[in-house]
């Protein structure tokens, strides 16, 4: 049974840890000091700790006095290349780097969960495996590397949360099936033939071909994808030429693709490659395409989402709601491809505390009370799973 008072007593430490991490952020694949700090916080708990898992990742295992199933809980710990513009005592002290997505809070929550179960191991029949993952923000991401290193060996179920400012404090949201989109990237170099801006007939204008391609690619979602299958194709950058009177030999485009099914994902890739090649050819140019398959869609398991709703009902001051799928991506998707699991958005928005900015914004902050609710929810989901499977 969830020990509310014990988690409440841990809340000041959660805040302290989150603010330490917020002041000392590290980018994806560079989380060496962050990893060392997490290890330092875990060592007094007298639990098994593995370091350098999938890079800078750590795994902390709390084994009960009796054998049983294994529940994994994951938190990410990398920051973003954004200058912190908040005016707070705990603003980032690293120029151009900040925790603008809540990963510092996720780490603080999981440290508290690890401590909680270390104090309750005599009541535990099974194992709680805490996964501290690096490099969630940048493909190929840290999840696949940790899985390759065996982090899911023997795991029966996995849970994760994201502190989410678009949702108000006191609310948690999830949904069965596809919840977060896949994320792929493409880079297209259109090779034309440079020339004088006053004599276009003697050149092949890569910029004109690129401009046409931007418009052609917008037809993919509206005319090739099933309207009942959400998808996004965004051209994020286009660069070509150097001066006003020279026809550019090269034009570079890059963009992102988001969708919720592997079938739609493959359709869009095929269309982008075909349209790019045909459009370039129409203008006498050539298209060189680099298509990078990123994170797959995050698909929650029905049984574990049902367990989330039952568990959330046991957490005071927390309301569970069903969310619509969202287009941001998460490499937690790799874990739930391997084992049953559920990913939950825990509301962290609160205008009264200035938690009004979206994720990846230079003034991003959260209502830290959300960490306590997230910790309670994860503990309750874990205990509910053990209770259900031991009946």
Spatial separation of the C-alpha atoms in residues 77 and 42, rounded to whole Å: 15
Q: Is 18 helix (H, G, I), strand (E, B) or coil?
A: helix
Dist CA 8 CA 22 (whole Å): 21
Known catalytic residue at 78: yes
Q: Which of 272, 271, 336, 263 is nearest to 298 (CA)?
A: 336
Are 359 and 163 within 8 A, CB to CB? no
How many other C-beta atoms can be found within 10 angstroms of the C-beta atom of residue 81? 13
Question: Does residue 76 carry a catalytic annotation?
Answer: no
Q: Tell me which residue has tokens 């949904």.
A: 175
Work out whether the CA dihedral 159, 164, 168, 170 comes out positive or negative.
positive
Among 31, 78, 127, 249, the active-site one is 78
Pairing mode, strands 171-174 and 319-322:
parallel
CB 134, CB 75: distance < 8 Å: no
Determine the distance from the C-alpha atom of residue 139 to the mean position of all C-alpha atoms in its chain, rounded to a whole number.
10
Which of 26, 84, 115, 136 is labelled catalytic? 136
Residue that is written with structure tokens 């929650």 in the block? 300
DSSP string, 192-232: -B-EETT-GGGSB-HHHHHHHHHHHHTHHHHHTS-TTS-EE
162, β-bridge pairs: 345
- Residues with active-site annotation: 78, 136
């Amino acid at each position: 049974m969830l020990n509310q008072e014990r988690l409440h007593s841990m809340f000041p430490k959660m805040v302290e840890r989150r603010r330490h991490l917020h002041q000392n952020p590290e980018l994806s694949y560079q989380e060496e000091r962050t990893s060392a700090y997490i290890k330092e916080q875990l060592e007094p708990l007298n639990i098994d700790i593995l370091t350098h898992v999938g890079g800078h990742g750590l795994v902390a295992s709390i084994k009960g006095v009796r054998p049983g199933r294994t529940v994994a809980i994951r938190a990410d710990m990398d920051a973003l290349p954004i200058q912190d513009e908040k005016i707070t005592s705990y603003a980032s002290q690293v120029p151009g780097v900040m925790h603008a997505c809540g990963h510092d809070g996720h780490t603080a929550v999981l440290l508290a969960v690890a401590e909680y179960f270390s104090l309750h191991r005599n009541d535990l029949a099974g194992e709680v495996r805490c996964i501290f993952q690096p490099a969630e923000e940048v493909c190929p991401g840290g999840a696949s590397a940790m899985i390759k290193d065996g982090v899911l060996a023997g795991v029966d179920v996995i849970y994760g949360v994201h502190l989410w400012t678009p949702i108000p404090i006191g609310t948690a949201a999830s949904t069965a099936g596809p919840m977060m989109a896949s994320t792929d990237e493409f880079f297209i170099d259109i090779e034309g033939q440079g020339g004088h801006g006053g004599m276009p007939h003697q050149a092949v204008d890569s910029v004109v071909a690129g401009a046409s391609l931007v418009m052609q690619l917008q037809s993919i979602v509206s005319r090739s994808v099933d309207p009942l299958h959400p998808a996004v194709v965004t051209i994020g950058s286009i660069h070509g030429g150097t001066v006003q009177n020279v026809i550019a030999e090269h034009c570079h485009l890059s963009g992102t693709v988001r969708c919720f099914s592997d079938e739609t994902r493959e359709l869009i890739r095929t269309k982008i490659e075909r349209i790019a090649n045909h459009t370039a050819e129409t203008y006498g140019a050539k298209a060189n395409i680099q298509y990078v398959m990123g994170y797959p869609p995050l698909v929650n398991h029905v049984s574990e989402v049902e367990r989330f709703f039952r568990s959330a009902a046991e957490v005071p001051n927390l309301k569970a709601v069903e969310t619509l799928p969202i287009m941001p991506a998460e490499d937690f998707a790799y874990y739930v491809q391997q084992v049953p699991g559920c990913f939950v958005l825990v509301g962290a928005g609160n205008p009264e505390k200035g938690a009004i900015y979206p994720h990846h914004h230079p003034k991003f902050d959260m209502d830290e009370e959300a960490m306590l609710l997230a910790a309670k929810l994860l503990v309750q989901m874990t205990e509910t799973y053990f209770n259900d499977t031991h009946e």
